[in-house]
Amino acid sequence: MPLFSAGLNHTTAPVPVRERIAYAADDLPRALADLRRHTRVEEAVLLSTCNRTEFYFQAPDDTGVLDWLSRDRRMPRHELAPCLYQFREEGAVRHLLRVAAGLDSMVVGEAQILGQLKQAYATARENGHVGHGLNQLFACGFATAKRVRTDTRIGAQPVSVASIAVDLSRRIFSNFAEHTALLVGAGQMIALCARHLHTQGMGRIIIANRSPTRALSIAQGVQGFGIGLTDLDAHLSEADILIACTASPEPLIHLPAVRAALRRRKHRPMLMVDLGLPRDIDPNISQLDDVFLYTLDDLTAESQTNRQARLTQAALAEEIVEEEAARFTRWLRDHDRRRLLQQLRERGEQTRLIALAQAHERIERGEDPERVLEDFSRALTNRLLHTPTHRLREAIHQSQQDLIDDARRLFDLDEPEP
């Protein structure tokens, strides 16, 4: 049964289309069951994230799946068609391996997609939509992603500003558990920094915002504390790491307040990262001996450097994907050939059993066993050789020398005399 992949992603479809086509996690079982009910799909996995919705499936052909998607998402096929891609056999294998390795992601080398792919596979398997074919395919995908992570440094250097800010913090403070981070703001960037810091074991996180309620909302998600901006100066001395990103037109963190905080800290160093535009931290603070101040420009420059480094590693990862895709495709072809041998043996066995049953019936009717055995052996030979003999006779009549030579090799026949 051929392998296929089909769908759309961030490179082929704009956000409004991706939003219309996306599936919620709890809707995947219903969608997969309906897909198989109304198409010829035998096995299927449906992956749906903010950046892609795509199917991996086995079926006699790929007709019907994208028409089903159009109906299920109530989006006319002519509107959907320009956003779609389809791959078959080795192309489908290669696509899955690239997705698993993070090579098809908006941020090359990101690892989140692998977890999403594993969850999509687990959902399909738990609901009975995965068999031997997709089991083998996804096992290859997961193994390839692991090899890419092991043999390259594609994910070693962060490329998002939030990730770089946390990575910078890790370089200066190796044991996060013993330190405190003070995050100023309550937008998406600060929320992302808070999650990164929490995931990496930051001992204490304080969120400061003009709205204490909003600060508390983010803080609760990372087991932290929320305060208002009016309390910011009072908590400066607690901060080993300070990351600021607000929409304030004027700096919120001033030189005198930081000087006072350093005295209370007995001049233990502070890392400050200003992600605001306009700036949230007075640039004169960089003159203080015990403060390491980085700006958005510093982090953006590092992000570009890291992106280029990832692209270099991505080239190595693409080589791994090509190698693994070729290996899996060879396995797939060999598997199909083994099934051909199995089918040949099953057909021969079926022919033998029919002839044997007929022989038993004749013996039970009292016919001479010697005569029955003679007829049985002759009938078995004729039935097994009927189709090959017919095809070979046609080849001889039509002078199909290639087929004649193949038959001679297949049945170990003598070469013609010169």
Encode pLDDT of 232-263 as tens digits.
Answer: 999 999 999 999 999 898 999 999 999 999 99
Q: Is residue 71 part of a domain?
A: yes
The CA angle 201-255-260, to the nearest 5 degrees, is 70
Q: What is the pLDDT of residues 8-34, one digit of tens each?
A: 999 999 988 998 999 999 999 999 999
Domain count, the chain: 3
Does the bond joining 158 to the residue before it have cis omega, within 30 degrees of 0?
no
Report pLDDT for 337.
Answer: 59
Per-residue pLDDT averaged across 219-236, rounded? 96
For residue 328, give both structure tokens: 């899996």
Asked if the model's pLDDT at residue 338 lies above 80, the reply is no
The Cα 228–Cα 182 span in angstroms is: 12
Same domain for 64 and 138, yes or no, is yes
Same domain for 147 and 11, yes or no, is yes
Q: Residue 26 is part of a domain; what is its CATH number?
A: 3.30.460.30
Q: Which of 27-41, 71-85, 332-346 has the lowest mean pLDDT?
A: 332-346
Q: Is residue 319 part of a domain?
A: no
Same domain for 263 and 348, yes or no, is no
For residue 188, give both structure tokens: 């998406």
Per-residue pLDDT averaged across 406-412, rounded? 81
- Mean pLDDT value across the chain: 91
Q: Which residue has the higher pLDDT, 161 or 34?
A: 34
Range of the domain at 361: 342-410
Same domain for 16 and 136, yes or no, is yes
Same domain for 187 and 285, yes or no, is yes
Q: Is residue 63 part of a domain?
A: yes
Residue 315: pLDDT band with limits 50, 70, 90? very high
Same domain for 244 and 350, yes or no, is no
Q: Is residue 307 part of a domain?
A: no
The Cα 4–Cα 91 span in angstroms is: 8
The Cα 122–Cα 167 span in angstroms is: 32
Report pLDDT for 388.
Answer: 85
Read out DSSP for 47-109? EE-SSEEEEEEE-S-STTHHHHHHHHTT--HHHHGGG-EEEETHHHHHHHHHHHTTTTSSSTT
Report pLDDT for 336.
Answer: 60
Q: Is residue 94 part of a domain?
A: yes
Same domain for 274 and 349, yes or no, is no
Would you call 241 helix, strand, or coil by DSSP? Answer: strand
Report pLDDT for 20.
Answer: 92
Q: What is the pLDDT of residues 99-133, one digit of tens each?
A: 999 999 887 888 889 999 999 999 999 999 999 89
Q: Residue 238 is part of a domain; what is its CATH number?
A: 3.40.50.720
Same domain for 245 and 368, yes or no, is no
Q: Which of 120, 151, 182 is the last residue of a domain?
A: 151
Report pLDDT for 335.
Answer: 63
Same domain for 212 and 124, yes or no, is no
- DSSP E strands in 173-301: the ranges are 180-184, 204-209, 225-228, 241-244, 270-274, 291-295
- Active-site residues: which are they? 50
Would you call 237 helix, strand, or coil by DSSP? Answer: helix
CB atoms within 10 A of CB 40: 15
Same domain for 33 and 144, yes or no, is yes
The Cα 289–Cα 114 span in angstroms is: 43
Same domain for 242 and 140, yes or no, is no
Per-residue pLDDT averaged across 52-60, rounded? 95
Q: Which of 151, 174, 201 is the last residue of a domain?
A: 151
- DSSP E strands in 275-354: the ranges are 291-295
H-helix or E-strand spanning residue 139: helix 132-151
Q: Is residue 333 part of a domain?
A: no
388 contacts: CB under 8 Å, gap ≥ 6 = 407, 411
Q: Is residue 225 part of a domain?
A: yes
Report in angstroms the alpha-carbon separations of 179 from 193, 255, 270: 15, 22, 11
Using alpha carbons, select from 330, 335, 329, 321 the residue that is nearest to residue 141: 321
269 contacts: CB under 8 Å, gap ≥ 6 = 172, 240, 290, 291, 292
What sign for the dihedral angle of Cα 338, 339, 344, 346? positive
Q: Which of 151, 175, 195 is the last residue of a domain?
A: 151
Report pLDDT for 341.
Answer: 67
Is the separation of the CB atoms in 376 and 359 below 8 Å?
Answer: yes
Same domain for 96 and 176, yes or no, is no
Q: Is residue 311 part of a domain?
A: no
